[in-house]
Structure 1
Amino acid sequence: MTDRDGRSFDRRRFLAGVGAAGAAGLAGCSGLPFGDSSPSDDGESTENGSAAFDEFRGSGPLVEGRSDLGGTRIEDLPELSGELVIYLGGGEGGLYRDLLDRLRQIYPDFEPVARDYGTAEGANTIISESEASPADVFWSVDAGSLSAVAGEGLTAQLPSEVVEPVPSEFHPDDQWVGTAGRARAVPYNTEKLSADDVPDSVMDFPDSEAVASSIGWAPTYGAFQAFVTAMRLIEGEDATRQWLREMVDAGASQYNNEFLVSNAVADGELDTGFANHYYALRVQASRPDAPLDLAFTSGDAGALINTAGAAVLSASDNGDLANNFVRHLLSSEAQEFFATHTYAYPMVSGIPPVGGLPTIDELNPPEIDLSKLSEIQPTLELMREVGVL
């Protein structure tokens, strides 16, 4: 497999050493429980309000040796001060609030007022409230929900100093900016398959004797529906309909979420499946000897990188504070928090992913406008037509 610059890399080297993760937790869209997210007790000092990486970094052997990381440090940003109303879309099982608590400890005059919603619920609430919304920031785990709010003209353009550290595809039109990424991946059972058995294109899965006969998916899960939406946008409705039908005909097994898919692969109940990358890491963290690894497809919907992100609402009277808060989400410390507590992909260079994962630059995601992932209704209609939902 080659990266976006044409360099080759091994499609099966990504979970080496992950079994030592122990206490490190994973985040996703499912509301599943997470590991300990408390700060380390042996970290650097935070004198004069400066933040130390160890106060943000997750615990466990998986994150040992992570030092001298790049990016912009919190101590180099303007201080946070005042009240900020933040709508949390998803909230990563409480981890967003944990990060807010860390920022509150650094800045005693900063008072984040967080309100929890589901991703779609949060977006719909803001759209319903429109210009009267009390929210200053919408911080959501899903690009589609952010784009839905932006599509209604309710977000403010983010300043260049906010979005500059993040690749352009993760801040479309500067109406929101990605804070942590998640890659579509193919967990597979290493006792049943090798990485070479996994097709490089997701469109080839129905015709692959190696994978089609024992594969799992979670059609009711938001991440899977975003994947199908990406397929519909890239391949067209007819090709997506045919792919879904062929996968149904091949006997794809249905699960309620992608953690269960990844667990079933580790158990040998399935040979392979479709899931966001961090679910396999979560399985390996609790089951270090599980015969589980990840493969990645290339340049297609199966290689989609979706993202959590934040938007500043145009009706906010706290624009400067809100923009500064988003800059803090992209600080080295916050990016390390996302990488080591949620196993997400950092959005800024200088903060590597954990677990031997390939970097974003080594992956080959499709060229797609993430804002269009909000166009979910045609996808749901198509999935119902085929009988997947």
Structure 2
Amino acid sequence: MDRRRFLAGAGAAGAALLAGCSADEVESPTESATDSPGTTTTGTTVGGTGGGTLVVATYSSFIDAVSSSPGGWLKQQFESEFDADLVYQTPPNELDQYIQRANAGVDIDADVYVGLNVDGLIRLDENLESGSLFAEAPDLPGQSDIKEGLGFDPQGRAVPYDTGYISLVWNATADDGEFVAPETFDGLLESEYRGDLLAQNPSSSATGRAFLLHTIKARGEENYLDYWSQLQENDVRVLGSWGDSYSAYGEGEAPMVVSYSTDQVYANRSDQDMDRHQIRFLNDQAYANPEGMAQFASTDSPDLAQSFMEFVLQPEVQAEIAVRNVQFPAITDAEFGEENAEYEQYAQVPPEAVSFTYDELRGNLQGWIEEWSRQIASN
């Protein structure tokens, strides 16, 4: 599990100590999507029935996180603008459920998927045995306003709708108020920061994976393992999930944690001490983790699916999704309004966003993670 998954199960009291949310993929499916050709998807279905129904598949905390979720608001607003009902499907295995159903020849009764990322698309393309799970995206008004660099699907199926940035969160009250986080990746290796960093395992955590990829960007494919060896010598603590590491950070076990640059949004909402929620962009960068939506190729409501995707890219809808999902809008002209002034104040955008493309990751990502696991996690 990772960020929003952790919050959804943490309970209100625990969530007050935690930062903003993300739609990180579940890495290891625990249930089979199909038992027989007639088996339907498992999980939560939320919504009504009517003359026209749009079924949107997504991750569960998109609609029911402890803190805030965009799903309920999207349903209400979409249904008020269109003569249709919006129904959510949240199978426990998320995207993997639909890959398994497609491979088993079982009908998919959903129209749009919300919550795709580049890792999921690579997993889809490497495991789908035949055909296409998603259709090429239609031309959408507002698509030209998507920020440069957020597109992650060379086949044009996924349309970005928000993004997060992986950064360090650090505690300026540590060491009796003397602690200051380093400004560069090189700085993390200095002896004064021995034992001060909490990170996550990239094989089980989306934030950990993003941080690993950022180190590869910064040091190169030939040198990233040497860098991690030096981090290890400096007593970096690598935990299994974002929830594990952020809880340890909240308990004061270390003054720095790999997290999100929206951390101060939740700190402000829960009246936390902002000095304990400082943001550091190493090398003046952060790793971008965009999320996308796509239309199922088998939908029998392509026009309604297209209307939903157009709706999601509207400037005021983009702002509301960003605020409720504690991410950043995908488009350049989102309309936040005065009611969201605090969000704009505390959600920090890096001077430079970095990421690998789909083509750069496919064929490399799993190998990088396996190499890291053999050399770092096994020691």
TM-score over 0.5 for the pair: yes
Per-residue CA distance 1:198-227 (angstroms, 9 max, x = gap):
44443x254223434311112132221233
2:297 counterpart residue number: 314
Structure 1 window deviating more from structure 2 (129-138 vs 221-230): it is 129-138
CA offset at residue 249 of structure 1? 2.2
Aligned partners of 2:165 and 2:344: how far apart in 1?
14
Q: Distance in 2 between matches of 1:178 and 1:311?
A: 9
Normalising to structure 1: TM-score of the pair? 0.68
Deviations 1:110-146 (A, max 9, x none): 1233221345534634653579533321211533214
CA-based RMSD of the aligned residues comes to 3.7
Change (3 A) 1:319 1:120: closer
Residue 207 (structure 2) aligns with: 223
Change (3 A) 1:104 1:330: closer
Q: Which residue of 1 aligns with 2:55?
A: 85
Q: Distance in 2 between matches of 1:277 and 1:132?
A: 40
- 1:99 maps to 2:73: yes
Alpha-carbon distance in 1 for matches of 2:95, 2:210 = 13
1:165/1:269 CA distance change after superposition, 3 Å:
same
Q: Is the alpha carbon distance of 1:196 and 1:98 closer, same or farther for their aligned partners in structure 2, counting shifts above 3 Å?
A: same
Q: Which of the numbers 309, 323, 333 marks the counterpart of 2:306?
A: 323
**What is the number of residues matched between the two proteins?**
317
SS in 1 for 2:353: coil
> Of 152, 155, 171, which aligns to 2:134?
155
Structure having greater relative contact order (Cα 8 Å, sep ≥ 6): 1
Establish whether residue 180 from structure 1 lines up as the match of residue 155 from structure 2. Answer: no
Choose which of 335, 341, 347 in structure 1 pairs with 2:318.
335
2:119 equivalent to 1:134: no
Separation (CA, whole Å) in 1 of partners of 2:105 and 2:267: 41
Give 3-state SS (helix, strand or coil) of 2:140's partner.
helix
Matched residue of 1:308: which SS? strand
Alpha-carbon distance in 1 for matches of 2:329, 2:78:
22
Go from structure 1 to structure 2 and tell me whether the alpha carbon gap of 1:367 and 1:251 turns closer, same or farther (over 3 Å shift).
closer
1:208 aligns with 2:190: yes
1:248 pairs with one of 232, 235, 260 = 232
Please show how residues 20-31 of structure 1 align to structure 2 within 5 Å: 28-31=4-7
Q: 1:223 corresponds to which letter in structure 2?
A: T
Return the letter of the residue paired with 2:319. E
Superposition map of 1:32-181 within 5 A: 32=8, 82-89=52-59, 91-92=61-62, 94=64, 95-103=69-77, 105-107=79-81, 109-117=83-91, 118-119=93-94, 121-122=96-97, 124-125=99-100, 128=103, 132-140=107-115, 142-149=117-124, 153-162=132-141, 163-172=143-152, 173=154, 174-181=156-163
Distance 1:243 1:111 in 2: 52
Following the alignment from structure 2 to structure 1, what is the Cα–Cα distance between the partners of residues 188 and 278? 21
How far is the alpha carbon of 1:381 from its aligned partner? 1.3
In the other structure, the counterpart of 2:287 is: 304
| 2:147 maps to amino acid | P
Deviation >6 Å, runs of 4+: 193-196
* Conservation of the 8 A alpha-carbon contact between 2:264 and 2:347: no
Identity over aligned residues, as a percent? Answer: 14
Please tell me the residue identity of whatever aligns with 1:217. A
Structure 2 match to 1:3: none
Could you tell me how far 1:270 is from its partner in structure 2? 1.1
Contact 2:161 2:291 survives alignment (8 Å): yes
Residues 147 and 164 of structure 1, relative CA distance in 2, 3 Å threshold: farther
Tell me what 1:383 maps to.
372
The alpha-carbon deviation at position 325 of structure 1 amounts to: 0.8
Given that residues 70 and 320 in structure 2 are in contact (C-alpha distance below 8 angstroms), is that contact kept between their aligned partners in structure 1? no
Question: Is structure 2 residue 337 aligned with structure 1 residue 344?
Answer: no
